[in-house]
Structure 1
């Protein structure tokens, strides 16, 4: 496994791999890897010949009162996990390598970034799309794998790729959960034992939404109301939003016809957590992946 912090190294390595006919897969991460991240690496291995992972805590996607400085980092641990998975290349740049001078050019996707998390984190998705566009230009991957847990991020990146004609296929991977149902997240490390137990209310509320859907409920407001009721039953949970939207456009739904994304964001103590389920009518079931 090759590890570098230099853009020039990445360009040279990828050029060599492409000349030998290799299909390049990219998994962008912010590190502090868990099983969810590793599942993306495995999916990338299925769809490409050479798997690259970026590890970069991107400062421009964090707001002024967010957790950039305390975001968990452990590069040595991450590298051991990636080597075990058979990763071929890891890019772990410094902030100075990615942003060597004042950043005057950014990439912004309108409309769908104003909803869900974007409504509460102004500028966040502009930071995401800008760094992902940079990574796509650095790696020129054939495929890139992102997790469904960040469903809005997937929709935003897909739209950026479509609008700007990036020659990369975006693959969405299923949410990976702990045995008790909590969606895996690097931020789970912030939770104390009481909060960790309380955090199960997120997946519990989505299970109730799934039950309603399985029983034929298609009124979005009825589903939203039920999810809110369950979330509000937990004293440590402060709901930020519960939404039922189309997974591609992120437009609010009043009635579910073909597919829907039921997305939630909550604070458990001071830790912000997100979760969602993707529903497709033709399967009358949750959709776990698009692989």
Structure 2
């Protein structure tokens, strides 16, 4: 399996496959794991043709060191994809191919979805996400695009992008895939020591207990409890824990009947930033 590197080559490949009744896209930054593979398998089951993009997007990194350290293993990625289907098209462009001379983000109005949680701590991050996702949608013109719920805020942002930019694509949310001890699968997990990777199951365990407590306690009490749990654990540094409305991502102050809420967390372990979330009701 050989990746396609240019937009021109990709267009030629897709035209050679026509007519395609349904084209699915799984956008990734590589360093693929079983969470990504679950997205790819779902895409293959629902479309005539699937494109997996592999591109580490520089405009969504607010930390240059994080960009440098982001894991890359294209050979391994291609092997994982080919195990699912040799008919999948892999688009792995260079930064120059996507951005030409100007590596800058387009500015978007995400109606406040980008101002909380990740947006509060990662300046301009979601403009970078929007820029590359809109580019990929324009280049590939998929009918469906698949995104994991681990990045739930990103999923909300992309839905808003599609709505505001009037892009004709259906966004398919896919459940979080977890390691056996509960840690949400992420490419960044590769940067953890094996000991820390096992310990990091603590994050999901904390979220599950927070969900139980949310049934009887106020959001403030649940937040205080989570803060205390992280303070007592020297292995992790809490960046934020937030309970928010799933539609607006507005931080919860008082529960309202018939509203859906989700808990979001970001922590550092061995200088690696890990995020997770859980539906509360």
CA distance in 1: counterparts of 2:205 and 2:267, whole angstroms: 13
Q: How does 1:65-214 map to 2 (within 5 A)?
A: 65-86=64-85, 88-103=88-103, 106-110=106-110, 111-213=112-214
C-alpha contact (below 8 Å) 2:105/2:127 kept by paired residues? no
Give the Cα–Cα distance (whole angstroms) in 1 for the partners of residues 77 and 120 of structure 2.
Answer: 32
1:222-253 deviation line (CA, Å, top 9, x unaligned): 22222222222211111000000112211111
Residue in structure 1 matched with residue 266 of structure 2 by the alignment: 265
What's 1:289 paired with?
A: none
Residues 6-46 of structure 1: CA distance to partner in whole angstroms, max 9, x if unpaired? 111222233344x4142000000000100000000011122
Contact residue 181 and residue 200 of structure 1 kept, 8 A: yes
1:10/1:218 CA distance change after superposition, 3 Å: farther
Q: In 2, are the aligned partners of 1:149 and 1:274 still within 8 Å (CA)?
A: yes
Q: Return the TM-score normalized by structure 1.
A: 0.90
Aligned 8 A contact 2:23 2:49 in 1: yes
**Mapped contact 2:20–2:49 kept (Cα < 8 A):** no
Partner of 1:240: 239
Partner residue in 2 for 1:62: 61
Distance 1:107 1:11 in 2: 27
Structure 1's consecutive aligned runs of 4 or more residues displaced over 3 angstroms after TM superposition are none
How many angstroms apart in 2 are the aligned matches of 1:70 and 1:104?
A: 20
Supply the distance in 1 between the matched residues of 2:22 and 2:128 (Cα, whole angstroms).
Answer: 27
Supply the distance in 2 between the matched residues of 1:218 and 1:170 (Cα, whole angstroms).
34
Is the 1:40–1:147 contact (alpha carbons within 8 Å) kept by the matching residues of 2?
A: yes
Distance 1:183 1:52 in 2: 24
User: 1:211, CA displacement in angstroms?
Assistant: 1.8
CA contact (8 A) 1:27 1:53 kept: yes
Maintained 8 Å contact 2:181/2:198: no
Q: Deviations over 1:31-78 (max 9, x none)?
A: 010000000001112221111100000111112444111210000110
Task: Report 1:36-51 matches (<5 A).
Answer: 36-51=35-50
- Over 3 Å counting, the alpha-carbon distance change for 1:198 and 1:178 in structure 2 is same
Q: CA deviation at 1:118?
A: 1.0
Instruction: State the alpha-carbon separation in 1 of the partners of residues 104 and 180 from structure 2.
Output: 45
Q: Partner of 1:227 in structure 2? A: 226
Q: Distance in 2 between the 1:202 and 1:126 partners?
A: 28
Whole-angstrom CA distance in 1 between matches of 2:3 and 2:64? 32
Label 1:173 to 1:48 Cα distance change in 2 as closer, same or farther (>3 A): same
The corresponding residue for 1:9 is 9
Q: What's the CA shift for 1:105?
A: 6.4
Consecutive unaligned residues in structure 1, runs of 5 or more: 281-291
More deviation in 257-266 or 193-202? 193-202
Asked whether the 8 Å contact 1:2–1:88 carries over to 2, the reply is no
TM-score, normalised to structure 2's length?
0.93
Residues matched between the structures, number? 277
For the residues of structure 2 that align with 1:105 and 1:242, how far apart are their CA atoms? Answer: 28
Secondary structure, aligned partner of 2:189: helix
SS at match of 1:20: coil
